[in-house]
Structure 1
Amino acid sequence: AVLTEWAFTPPDRRREALGDNSAALTGLLLGLTLPPALPLWMGFLGAVVAIGLGKVIWGGLGANLFNPALVGRAFLLGTFPIAMTTWADPAGPGGFFDLSPSLFALPFHSPSYDAVSSATPLGLLKFQQQGTGLARLLIGNTSGSLGETSGLLLLLGGIWLWLRRDLDWRIPAGIFLAAGLFSLVLYLVDGSRYPAPLFTLLSGGLLLGAIYMATDPVTSPVTPRGAWIFGLGVGLLVVLIRVFGGFPEGMMYAILLMNAATPLIDRYTQPRVFGRKGGGR
């Protein structure tokens, strides 16, 4: 990601563009959304797309409409769907603490996955009607993307960012509120078919997306009321996509859709100006 930023930035602006570390942060966040056995060259390609199409093409930092890391992930999911939905079993060979040979697959060659394939908690629920214990979701002893499995660590990181005032708490609060209430209604309608609210909040990429992706200050609303609308919209969409969509997960699409709505939200939530000091017009 940093190399792409350097390559696409004019020489006289490189120091400024690289000095804010936004490209490095984009690369880190993208990596957290990827499967642990994904070939490295795919991750590199995703980083190029994240910076090139998600940021530079819009005019650089502060001008992009969509979260760059999620743009990169959406590209990888659409281009390499099998690799992006192949999950290593964290308790078996090739799990989270082992280097899988698929990481070093040659570019544009089909990787050989030696790890035992294991579905994510959302996949198990959607396709096999099998639940996952809340303790496993909190600790992270489940299959999934690199940064989405441990709910406890994600929450602790979110609290630290909130204490530092590095995120707008209204956005994750709105996501948790909407996703929790909507999933509660569905659960009360048919508890044998729809997941409980706690499972909805702790599974998949909801915590990672709510705390670390949706709160991107560039691609989220700037007003307090807009932040609530944005968060509530993401929470509602993620449950709709999970329950009624073809994919078991929907956090990425929910955030990108609300990113697209951000300019409209900002427009209608800006406070009205009724007068100017000194009688100016």
Structure 2
Amino acid sequence: MANKLIVTAAPHITSADSTQKIMQRVCIALVPTLIASVFIFGINSLILTAITVAACVFFEWGYCKMVGREVPIADFSAVVTGLLLAFNLPASLPWWMAIVGAFIAIVIVKQLFGGMGYNFANPAIVARIALAVGFASRMASYPKPENGIDALASATPLAVFDQLGSSEYVTLLLGNHGGVLGETCAITILIGGIYLIATKVISPVIPVTYLATVAVLSLVAGRDPIVQLLSGGLMLGAFFMATDYVTSPTTNKGKIIFGLGLGIITCAIRFLGTMNEGVSFAILLMNLLVPYIEVNTRQDKLGIAKVKKGGAAK
């Protein structure tokens, strides 16, 4: 029997994982934090999350139907965007503002740029920044936790804990304090991040590099590194938003550069600026630099001769 050589286009390595399965795992990883937010802020946080998820799914379905594009809501990417958007909002935010954020994330950032795989930045991050600019007072209004301290009802969580220091490590870890839904319980975010790494949904390179950079720069600046790591949405950003497949580098070298940039920008905003929170802006700025990082860190194609400046290929 003659051997047959079948030549096909790349990629030649396939995987049983699909976009739907990956997004479902991300949803599972976010469930512990959702439960913690409900415990801390009450049922309103669950309602807010349900609204953002439903709005994201609706806007994705409606836009694709309007332009005659295949409706991709079964891949759960809109659900993940809705969850992440909710985790960047305070529980007291009016529901219609959350719907505006969902519109910005799905229609403006994702679908207008071509849909899944073509967005220039993390949709939930851009929506969060847009809401913070457009509705600054409501986005900075943190509700009093049902099971927490009173100090954070009117102040930025990171600012308060940066002053309180080590006495509040347990509070930061367990989450009985105020803030947006996704920065209230560091331990649940950490559990979810470890789950994503264990199931190979994300690589540990970006979150580890990001967190390590923040820790080192905090020590250099004379700040408490544990407070900086456990507050301000850093854990959520490191594990769930900076690792977005579309808007993060694909090479290990690029991921290290990406993580370093995130840490430097975050600390620069926190320590040198007037804002206590720098995670969202750091991720957005580094998302914009990803194409340049990819070009300068990508692996050379095998079998292609390198061309030296001023000379021929060898």
Q: Structure 2-normalised TM-score?
A: 0.74
Contact 1:179 1:235 in 2 (8 A): yes
Alignment of 1:268-279 (within 5 A): 268-273=296-301, 275-276=303-304
1:121 aligns to 2:157 (yes or no): yes
Separation in structure 1 between the aligned mates of residue 102 and residue 271 of structure 2, nearest angstrom: 30
Deviation at 1:245, TM superposition (A): 1.3
1:158 aligns to 2:193 (yes or no): yes
Equivalent in the alignment of 1:106: none
Equivalent in the alignment of 2:73: 18
Equivalent in the alignment of 1:190: none
1:35 aligns to 2:73 (yes or no): no
Contact 2:218 2:224 in 1 (8 A): yes
Equivalent in the alignment of 1:229: 257
Equivalent in the alignment of 1:262: 290
Equivalent of 1:200, from 214, 219, 228? 228
1:141 aligns to 2:176 (yes or no): yes
Separation in structure 2 between the aligned mates of residue 140 and residue 125 of structure 1, nearest angstrom: 12
Deviation at 1:241, TM superposition (A): 0.4
1:88 aligns to 2:143 (yes or no): yes
Cα deviations across residues 18-64 of structure 1 (Å, max 9, x unaligned)? 12111111011100110011011100110001111210111111011
Structure of higher CA gyration radius: 2
Separation in structure 1 between the aligned mates of residue 123 and residue 145 of structure 2, nearest angstrom: 28
Deviation at 1:119, TM superposition (A): 1.9
* 1:265 partner amino acid: I
Alignment of 1:49-128 (within 5 A): 49-91=104-146, 117-124=153-160
Deviation at 1:71, TM superposition (A): 1.0
Q: Structure 1-normalised TM-score?
A: 0.83
Cα deviations across residues 153-193 of structure 1 (Å, max 9, x unaligned)? 11111111111101121000110111111111111xxxxxx
Separation in structure 2 between the aligned mates of residue 62 and residue 274 of structure 1, nearest angstrom: 26
Equivalent of 2:208, from 173, 183, 189? 173
Instruction: Give the aligned CA root-mean-square deviation in angstroms.
Output: 2.0
* 1:243 partner amino acid: F
Deviation at 1:130, TM superposition (A): 4.1
Number of residue-to-residue matches in the alignment: 246
Unaligned runs of 5+ in 2: 1-55, 306-314
Separation in structure 1 between the aligned mates of residue 296 and residue 141 of structure 2, nearest angstrom: 42
Contact 2:153 2:178 in 1 (8 A): no
Separation in structure 2 between the aligned mates of residue 139 and residue 274 of structure 1, nearest angstrom: 49
Separation in structure 1 between the aligned mates of residue 290 and residue 239 of structure 2, nearest angstrom: 17
Separation in structure 1 between the aligned mates of residue 205 and residue 108 of structure 2, nearest angstrom: 28
* 1:164 partner amino acid: T
Equivalent of 2:272, from 240, 244, 257? 244
Q: What percent identity do the matched residue pairs reach?
A: 42
Separation in structure 2 between the aligned mates of residue 117 and residue 202 of structure 1, nearest angstrom: 18
Deviation at 1:8, TM superposition (A): 1.1
Separation in structure 2 between the aligned mates of residue 144 and residue 123 of structure 1, nearest angstrom: 11
Separation in structure 1 between the aligned mates of residue 259 and residue 218 of structure 2, nearest angstrom: 15
